[in-house]
Amino acid sequence: MANKTPVTNDVKTLLEKIKDINICMMTTTSDDDKSLRSRPMATQKPEADNSLLFLTDKDSAKVYEVKKDSHVGLSYGNPDDNVYVSVSGRCNAYRDQAKINELWSEDMKAWFPEGKEDPNIMILKVEIEKGEYWDSPSGLLSRAYAYVRAVATGEKSDSDDVNEHAKVEVK
């Protein structure tokens, strides 16, 4: 079966899809048994180079994991709007106090009680290599249209007929 999913290098559309989804699941590879490990992470505003930043504790397992294997996966979902995004990239852990100051908000004190000067804060920078998104109309009428069309034509409903779906490859 041929893949009809369009492939683009339009990373801006990918970033637009996640701009209102604050939390993603970041997946890394465990250093000990090579299993996949996922945890929720708060995405900061994308950088000018389209990379994604996260703040974490320097002693967290994910810091050690990305130092051993920089491949990460990020999964975003907004069920209310039927928007889902998958991002694959390379992650780098580093400390930059000026960038931490720029990204800091007071609600981060829940994780870093010492504030933005906490020496344990690290930045995880994910450079996007590939992504894929699905953006479906969330209304009942859109779903009803797809159902009625499939029944009327006798053909299986192709979700891409009513969904926006594309793959993004960053060059």
Q: What's the CATH code of the domain at 45?
A: 2.30.110.10
Residue 158 covered by a domain: no
Specify whether the CB–CB gap between 132 and 169 falls below 8 A.
no
* Alpha carbon of residue 52 to chain centroid: 8
Q: Is 29 helix (H, G, I), strand (E, B) or coil?
A: strand
Side-chain-side CA neighbours of 128 within 13 Å: the count stands at 27
What pLDDT, on a 0 to 100 scale, did the predictor assign at position 135? 86
Q: Is 131 helix (H, G, I), strand (E, B) or coil?
A: strand
Structural domain boundaries, residue 54: 7-137
Q: Which residue has the higher pLDDT, 157 or 75?
A: 75
Report d(CA 165, CA 126) in Å as an integer.
Answer: 22
What pLDDT, on a 0 to 100 scale, did the predictor assign at position 33? 86
Side-chain-side CA neighbours of 38 within 13 Å: the count stands at 10
Specify whether the CB–CB gap between 87 and 76 falls below 8 A.
yes
Rg (CA), the chain: 19
Residue 163 covered by a domain: no
Residue 148 covered by a domain: no
What pLDDT, on a 0 to 100 scale, did the predictor assign at position 86? 97
What pLDDT, on a 0 to 100 scale, did the predictor assign at position 156? 64
Residue 95 covered by a domain: yes
Residue 99 covered by a domain: yes
Q: Is 7 helix (H, G, I), strand (E, B) or coil?
A: strand
Residue 152 covered by a domain: no
pLDDT at 11 over 60: yes
What pLDDT, on a 0 to 100 scale, did the predictor assign at position 163? 67
The predicted-structure confidence for 118-156, as pLDDT tens digits, reads as follows 999 999 999 999 999 998 865 555 555 666 666 777 676
Residue 161 covered by a domain: no
Report d(CA 65, CA 69) in Å as an integer.
Answer: 6
pLDDT grade, residue 71 (50/70/90)?
A: very high
Q: Which residue has the higher pLDDT, 73 or 145?
A: 73
Tally of domains within the chain: 1
User: What mean pLDDT, rounded, does the chain reach?
Assistant: 87
Residue type for 157, please? S
Residue 144 covered by a domain: no
pTM over 0.75: yes
pLDDT at 159 over 60: no
What pLDDT, on a 0 to 100 scale, did the predictor assign at position 1? 45
Share of the chain above pLDDT 70, in %: 84
